[in-house]
Amino acid sequence: MNRIHQLKQILVPETQTTRLAECRHCGESVDAETEACPECGSNEIARYEF
């Protein structure tokens, strides 16, 4: 690893994306790919990326 690459890693760290999905009706946490809430059956799934 050369010094320029090392310096870039220090100054511009790679960002990690955190994904959260939850039912808008009951608030149940679900997988991001879920189409309908297993708890209440609602298909209103909110998806967030941080």
Place of tokens 């997988």: 31
Q: Which of 1-5, 16-20, 28-32 has the lowest mean pLDDT?
A: 1-5
**Is there a contact between 31 and 42 (Cβ–Cβ < 8 Å)?**
no
| Domain residue ranges of the chain, discontinuous segments joined by + | 16-49
Q: Residue 39: pLDDT band by 50, 70, 90 thresholds?
A: very high
Per-residue pLDDT for 13 more than 80? Answer: no
Per-residue pLDDT for 7 more than 70? Answer: yes
3-state secondary structure of 29: strand
Number of Cβ within a 10 Å radius of residue 23:
21
What is the overall mean pLDDT for the chain?
A: 88
